[in-house]
Amino acid sequence: MTTRTPDKSVSCDGKVPFDTFTQANQVCKRKSKGKRDLCRMPYRCAHCHQWHVGTRSRKMTQADLLPVDAKQRAASVLVSGEQRKAAGQALVLENESKEWVDRFTFLAKCYLASLPEGALFAIEDLRSYCDTCGLPEPHSHKVWGSLPRVLMKAGLPMVMTDQNRKAHSPRTHAHRVSLYRKTGA
């Protein structure tokens, strides 16, 4: 099996490397003249392991990211607990800003690009990567529950597995967390 690291030509070649998040972030801020520009953001490169300044794709809209019938499902009574949970998560997500979700999705792409094909990961791993990239916490921690579906819907190369592991993060108190597998792009 060949382990190819995808998108080197896009995500690394010709990009200015920075040693730290702070340096790359300063460039983002300067380019947007002090105004916070969410279309430009630093990411840790999977290829050279330095920081680059990325431009987020404008193609995705929040409508694409949300389960279409989330509202109807949330409104309907007597659905299964699992469905109710999913619908509730979708509603919480709907209240999260589009900029945050776009930024998160962008970082998730960078994170996945850094994993070899077939690698297992938990959402908390992605979450700590986002932490290191300076992504603020969403307005509600419940948002995290709906994000895997957002990513799969956005076409990121990942699938859910039936495996789980004990969470590493102290905030989850060693609950079991689901594992996802990176697939071929």
- Min separation Cβ 40 and Zn ion, Å: 16
- Alpha carbon 127 to its chain centroid, in Å, reads 8
- Min separation Cβ 51 and Zn ion, Å: 8
- Count Cβ atoms below 10 Å from residue 102 Cβ, excluding itself: 21
- Min separation Cβ 43 and Zn ion, Å: 9
Residue 52 pairs in a beta bridge with: 43
Q: Residue 184 has which token pair?
A: 């071929």
Distance from C-alpha of 168 to C-alpha of 177, rounded to nearest angstrom: 9
Give the torsion through C-alpha atoms of 24, 28, 30, 35, to 10 deg.
-140
Residue 120 pairs in a beta bridge with: 181
- Min separation Cβ 109 and Zn ion, Å: 14
Nearer to Zn ion, 18 or 104 (CB): 18
Nearer to Zn ion, 54 or 67 (CB): 54
Nearer to Zn ion, 116 or 139 (CB): 116
Nearer to Zn ion, 7 or 124 (CB): 7
Q: For 30, how many CA atoms within 13 A lie in the half-sphere containing its CB?
A: 7
Give residues in contact with Zn ion (CB under 5 A).
12, 45, 47-48
